[in-house]
Amino acid sequence: MYKKMLVLLDGSKLAEVVFTYAQELSGRLNIDLDLLHVCSPQEAEQLPMRQAYMEHMAEILQSKAAEIRSRVGNKTPDYEIKARGKVIVGYPAEEILKYSAENDIDLIMLSTHGRSGIGRWDLGSVANKVIHASPIPIWLVPSELREEIIYDKLPKRTTVIPLDGSQFSEAVIPHAINIAKQRGAETEIVLIHIQSDLSLPYNIELAKKRESEIAANKQYLENVAARIENSGIKARIEMLDGYPARTIINFVKDNPAQLIAMTTHGHAGLSRMVFSSFTENILHLVKKTPIFLVKASE
C-alpha cells in the first residue's frame, strides 16, 4: 500500500487543480503528502516567502484531507494524515528525483503542463525527465481534469489498462489493484487490447490468421481479468480496432474513467511504442483523465 505521495506545485493555475485533486486522494487513500516547489537560483531570495506559502498550503491540505476521511467513513479513524511543504533551490528534475529518493516517497504527482523555475516545463522537459528516470510510479494530472474525477462523482469508478500480451505491460496491474483496494470504493478495471494490422489487404489466409490472433488475445485478456477478479477487484475486457493512442482516447471519451494506468516501457505491441511515441501521444491527447505510469524495467 502507498503511504506517502510527493505533489509538485509550481505556482500555476494548473497547480491549484493538482492541489485539490491531491487532497481528495489523500483523504480517500489515507496517504501522507509532501508538497514540493523547486525554484531557480535566480529566485533564491524569495525562498523564505515561498517556504511560508508551502507550509500554509500543507496545513490547509491536512485539514481538508481529514474532513474528506471523515465524510467517506475511512476505516482507520485513529490515523492522522500528515502533510508538509518544502521549497528547494536547484534544477527541477534533479531535485524532484533526489527528494523522492531521500524521503521514502511511494508516488509522484505532477501536472502535464506547468511552470517551473525560469522556464516552461512540459512533456519535453521536466516532467519528461522525471517520468523517464523515476523508479516509482508517476501520477499525471492533465490540464482539464474533470471535476467529477476530482470529487469522485463519476457514475462508475473505472481504471483503464492497455495491454499488449507482454509481462511488461502487465507491470501496472498490481499497482492498479492496490489503488482500488486502498481507495476502499468499488472499482472496475477495464483491460483493453487494440487489434493491429488493420491496413493489410484482405485475403483468406490473412483473415484466418487474424481470427486466430483475436481468439488468442481474447483468451489472454480473460485470463488476466480472472487473476484480477481473484484479488477481489472487478475486471472486464475490451477488444478494440484502430490506431492505439487515438482508439484508447476515444474509448475514454465515451466511457469516462477515473484513471488510465499503463507502463512506460514494454516488449511488444502497444508497449513496444515506448514512451516517446505511444505513451506521449496518450499524454498529449488526454486532457480530462489522470494517467498512472509505472516504469517496467527489462
Q: Per-block average pLDDT, block size 10, for the chain (298 residues)?
A: 90 78 92 92 87 92 89 70 93 92 95 49 63 90 87 91 88 94 88 74 74 90 97 95 85 92 60 47 74 80
Q: Which domain holds residue 214?
A: 148-294
Helix H, strand E, coil C: the string for 270-294 is: HHHCHHHHHHHHHHHHCCCCCEEEE
**Same domain for 117 and 237?**
no
| Number of domains making up the chain | 2
CATH number at residue 87: 3.40.50.620
**Same domain for 84 and 167?**
no
pLDDT at 83: 94
**Same domain for 137 and 54?**
yes
> What is the Cα Rg of the chain in Å?
20
| 3-state DSSP assignment of residue 185 | coil
pLDDT at 15: 76
**Same domain for 120 and 152?**
no
DSSP annotation string for 28-49: HHT-EEEEEEEE-GGGGGGHHH
**Same domain for 284 and 154?**
yes
**Same domain for 128 and 18?**
yes
CB proximity list for 128: less than 8 A, separation 6 or greater: 122
**Same domain for 75 and 134?**
yes
For residue 63, report the phi and psi dihedrals to the nearest 5 degrees: -65, -45
CB atoms within 10 A of CB 41: 11
C-alpha cell belonging to residue 210: 487474424
Cα distances (angstroms) measured from residue 246 to each of 113, 122, 200, 284: 20, 21, 19, 11
User: Is residue 197 exposed (0-12), middle (13-18) or buried (19+ Cβ within 10 Å)?
Assistant: exposed
Cα distances (angstroms) measured from residue 65 to each of 25, 29, 54: 8, 10, 16
Which of 141, 158, 188 terminates a domain? The answer is 141
The pTM for the full model equals: 0.86
pLDDT at 113: 62
Nearest to 118 by CA among 57, 41, 65: 41
Q: In whole angstroms, what is the distance from residue 15 CA to residue 133 CA?
A: 22
Which of 83, 109, 141 terminates a domain? The answer is 141
**Same domain for 289 and 154?**
yes
Letter for the amino acid at 298?
E
CB proximity list for 257: less than 8 A, separation 6 or greater: 154, 158, 159, 160, 190, 289
**Same domain for 180 and 281?**
yes
